[in-house]
Amino acid sequence: MMKDIIKPTVILTAIALICVFLLSHVEKLTVPVIAKRAKESREQALALVLPGFTVTGDEKRARVDGSDFTWWEGEKKVEDAIMKEKTVKGFAFLTKSPGYSGDIETMVGVDENGKVTGLTVISQTETPGLGARCVEVASRETLWDRFRGGIPVRDFADEARIPWFQNQFEGLDTKKKIGFMRRGVWNPNMRESLLEKNAISAITGATITSTAVIAGIEAGVARLAKARATQAPAAPGGAR
């Protein structure tokens, strides 16, 4: 009787130890791969939200309002009105705000004047067909292209396929209140008129998602200012 109990116990223990051993080795193999992919995704996001900028140094972290805040800094050369070259700074940061179905995490880029240089949604769990359209890439192919025997008249393969909702944030002034209007799916023809009002075209039927992304930008810009202040060198002699 005791033998019948001990034998399966030993077998199960051996199996458990083998599984633990294998899992520990699998983790050692997969962690570097996951980390590499995460780094590549982060670099792609930075290139998208800080176009033309060279990111200087590693990511920066600071404790702001009771939680960690992560941001990056970049630089690029531009010519001013009198054709003199100067260096301008750009900043990218991670921010999140509650949407309809959960937190919406974005990476946002702004220049030293507070203008948005780019935005990309990192993660979201919004409703498919509604809020989830914040990551929808509008089709460039027309019905006429389909009628041409399946041969596209135009080749958009080399164009950056940025989701239309995210694309429209470029150029907005974060020093002013960002608004939203109901104009349907954004297209480049709307850019100037919306920028004049410092507004975006909200996702139809998903006002909460649209306002959540705006709220994330505004909160992120405020936290960026606080985070940079904590990194500022102390004045000589303890001056305040």
Amino acid of residue 65: D
Look at residue 32 in the predicted model and tell me its pLDDT: 67
Instruction: Give pLDDT, residue 158.
Output: 40
Q: Which residues pair with 179 in a beta bridge?
A: 199
Give the residue-averaged pLDDT of 168-186.
94
pLDDT exceeds cutoff 90 at 33: no
- pLDDT surpassing 90 at residue 43: no
For 85: left if phi > 0, alpha if psi spans -120 to 50, otherwise beta; the answer is beta
Nearest to 197 by CA among 182, 219, 218, 213: 182
pLDDT at 237: 56
**pLDDT digit string (tens) for 54-109?**
998 889 999 998 899 999 999 998 887 776 888 899 999 999 999 999 999 999 99
pLDDT at 36 (0 to 100): 67
* Residue 239 clears pLDDT 60, i.e. is over it: no
- How do residues 129-146 score in pLDDT, each as one tens digit? 999 999 988 665 544 444
Beta bridge partners of 153: none
Which spans in 115-239 are helix H?
143-147, 164-167, 191-196, 207-231
Give the pLDDT band of residue 123 (cuts 50, 70, 90).
Answer: very high
Cα separation, 240 vs 237, in Å, equals: 9
Estimate to the nearest angstrom the gap between the alpha carbon of 178 and the chain centroid: 18
**Is residue 50 scored above 90 in pLDDT?**
yes
- The region of weakest confidence among 2-16, 23-37, 174-188 is 23-37
Q: What is the pLDDT of residue 18?
A: 82
In sign, the C-alpha dihedral spanning 173, 164, 196, 189 is positive
pTM of the model: 0.75
- Find the largest Cα–Cα distance for the chain: 96
* pLDDT of the residue at 41: 77
pLDDT tens for residues 13-28? 878 778 777 777 666 6
pLDDT at 11 over 90: no
